[in-house]
Structure 1
């Protein structure tokens, strides 16, 4: 497979099924953001992370190739590609439940950050949310499988919980968000 073809030099790209579109089409944004998300998860895997974290992210990276293919396929009813669906969403929910048994319940919002892996997982979560928004926008104009949006929604939840889990296992405490009013009250009481 040749890396450069020169076919995209005019700003067009081919979709699955052979049709062409401009590279700034919302469909390209959506699956391009899924690709960005997958690369961000690759960054997470470059850190020392838990065994379960590696297993989860390895599966998610494979799933994201499928999600990207689903988004790159106009007329999904004619598609012959595999799809993510109920089984993958159920698996993510099981992972979330398993990881949460090892975490303190949230009492407030937390600031994204922490260890290298934890903070990169928080970044991945925000990229996932963007992929979800772009997929919703695409779905308002063109047909895409509903399972794509459900998958991305659940994945962002999983990435949040996994960020907390990896931070805990790296010994990094979470930073709670303190509303501005509470900050002012705390400063007055200190004086």
Structure 2
């Protein structure tokens, strides 16, 4: 398990950091950017959780835990090296759980007849902020995966894609199952 006795190490003072494999990379490395955005997303969900109760709160806490799993997955690239531990990876069951929860939430929400503006309730607004951070993390992970010698777990890519869908539907659920959604009116202010 993780044990942190000392918080500062000074290893980042020169603009570098270490992956969990021990590799040293610059702090601007696309891998660090990807798991850094996942961390931002997790923090945004922590704020959203302040306005959540019951099932939504439990789901957000589960997802926050999964995001730490995702960060660990990204920080441990599979380069075929033998490690002293088994790397933590996002697995299909985590993606399936998101899909099941999306279907459950969406079953009681009327279909969209327009795009919606982020907002409505405070919780919905925060979930939409988290959704946009999730999409940025997805873009950064996809970019990382496109680079030579920068492997990304394909299930992790599916997870982050599905999570953005989950956050969209959860935002609608937080808006009284879509009743308080704010619809986009194309050209309304011309």
Distance 2:125 2:77 in 1: 35
What are the ranges of 5 or more consecutive residues in structure 2 without an aligned counterpart? none
TM-score (norm 2): 0.90
Structure 1 residue 84: Cα displacement:
1.4
Range with greater deviation from structure 2 (129-138 or 93-102)? 93-102
1:94 aligns with 2:97: no
Q: Which protein has the bigger helix share?
A: 1
Structure 2 equivalent of residue 165 of structure 1: 173
What are the ranges of 5 or more consecutive residues in structure 1 without an aligned counterpart? none
Map of 1:54-73 to 2, 5 A cutoff? 54-73=57-76
Structure 2 equivalent of residue 128 of structure 1: 134
Distance 2:136 2:57 in 1: 23
* Alignment equivalent of 2:109, drawn from 98, 103, 108: 103
Structure 1 residue 175: Cα displacement:
1.1
* Contact residue 35 and residue 71 of structure 2 kept, 8 A: yes
* Alignment equivalent of 2:161, drawn from 131, 149, 153: 153
RMSD over equivalenced CA pairs, Å: 1.7
TM-score (norm 1): 0.89
Structure 1 residue 172: Cα displacement:
6.5
Structure 1 residue 77: Cα displacement:
4.6
User: Which stretches of structure 1, 4 residues or longer, exceed 4 Å deviation after superposition?
Assistant: 76-79
